[in-house]
């Protein structure tokens, strides 16, 4: 995930006094990076639920039954269904393109389920159960830091401290002192770790290449550190 921000901090008077060559000669431009690492505190299980039938009503009923199975599965795993985010049903016609004219042969209904868990120990058991649902597909597990904004601020602060230190060193080398910050551009890069063995369960409907059902690995889930890097490009005035 990348976010870019530019902050302008000059005044109109200061800008008028620092134009052209004078502006370039009386400023220093630096770039620096700051990284903040944190242990993830939330596991995110995401999967889709889909059903296909000849009629729209039958497809909707099939998907509704599948969602009921998901809720029962969560209760059996010790998690209330209210803890999960259930997306709305999306209905799409299924076409047969083999003839000269398209024909509707059925309807598909799909929805997404997102479950955030503070207890990492539950992730494996829930993934095992999800992959056993015939209607489940696109199953994934990731780990995040719930207060990502605070982590981003720490990364920006570290980057700005390094940028200011480099600018001060450059100013001293030239026999000058560092002035005010003129502008700063910030680029954020967040690395969210994936699960340790995503290939084992990020399979269509939890099936392997032969079509047989496969279970998610649930022995050990070792979330990696979330790393957030801020890159700043700053312009300082010189005194």
DSSP codes, 73-106: HHHHTT--GGGEEEPPPEEEEEEE-SSSS-EEEE
Ramachandran region of residue 19, left (φ > 0), alpha (ψ -120 to 50) or beta?
Answer: beta
pLDDT digits over 120-147, tens only?
888 888 888 888 888 899 998 888 888 8
The terminus-to-terminus CA distance of the chain in angstroms comes to 38
pLDDT digits over 28-67, tens only?
999 999 999 988 888 899 999 999 999 999 999 999 999 9
pLDDT digits over 55-66, tens only?
999 999 999 999
Ramachandran region of residue 138, left (φ > 0), alpha (ψ -120 to 50) or beta?
Answer: left
Q: Which pLDDT band holds residue 155 (cuts at 50, 70, 90)?
A: very high
| Domains in the chain: boundaries | 2-38+148-190+229-238, 42-144
Q: Which token pair is 112? A: 């997404």
| Euclidean distance between CA atoms 57 and 51, whole angstroms | 11
Query: What pLDDT is recorded for position 191?
Result: 75
Q: What is the fold of 42-144? A: Alpha-Beta Plaits (3.30.70)
Q: Which residue has the higher pLDDT, 8 or 116?
A: 116
Q: Which residue has the higher pLDDT, 13 or 159?
A: 159
Query: What pLDDT is recorded for position 177?
Result: 93
Q: Which residue has the higher pLDDT, 45 or 3?
A: 45
Q: Which token pair is 5? A: 């921000």
Query: What pLDDT is recorded for position 21?
Result: 53
Q: What is the fold of 2-38+148-190+229-238? A: Translation Initiation Factor IF3 (3.30.110)
Query: What pLDDT is recorded for position 192?
Result: 64
Query: What pLDDT is recorded for position 127?
Result: 86
């Amino acid at each position: 995930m990348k976010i870019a921000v530019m902050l302008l901090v000059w005044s109109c008077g200061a800008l008028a006094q620092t134009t052209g060559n004078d502006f370039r000669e009386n400023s220093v431009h630096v770039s620096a990076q700051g990284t903040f690492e944190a242990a993830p505190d939330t596991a995110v299980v995401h999967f889709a639920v889909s059903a296909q039938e000849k009629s729209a009503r039958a497809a909707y009923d099939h998907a509704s039954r599948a969602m009921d199975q998901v809720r029962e599965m969560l209760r059996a795993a010790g998690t209330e269904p209210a803890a999960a985010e259930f997306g709305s049903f999306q209905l799409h016609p299924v076409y047969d393109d083999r003839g000269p004219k398209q024909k509707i042969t059925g309807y598909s209904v799909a929805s997404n389920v997102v479950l955030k868990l503070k207890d990492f120990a539950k992730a494996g058991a829930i993934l095992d159960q999800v992959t056993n649902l015939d209607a489940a597909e696109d199953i994934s597990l990731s780990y995040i830091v719930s207060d990502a904004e605070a982590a981003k601020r720490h990364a920006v602060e570290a980057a700005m401290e390094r940028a200011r230190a480099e600018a001060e060193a450059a100013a001293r080398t030239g026999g000058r002192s560092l002035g005010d910050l003129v502008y700063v551009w910030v680029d954020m890069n967040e690395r969210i770790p994936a699960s340790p063995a995503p290939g084992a369960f990020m399979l269509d409907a939890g099936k392997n290449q032969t079509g047989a059902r496969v279970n998610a690995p649930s022995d050990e889930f070792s979330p990696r550190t979330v790393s957030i890097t801020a890159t700043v490009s700053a312009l300082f005035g010189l005194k």
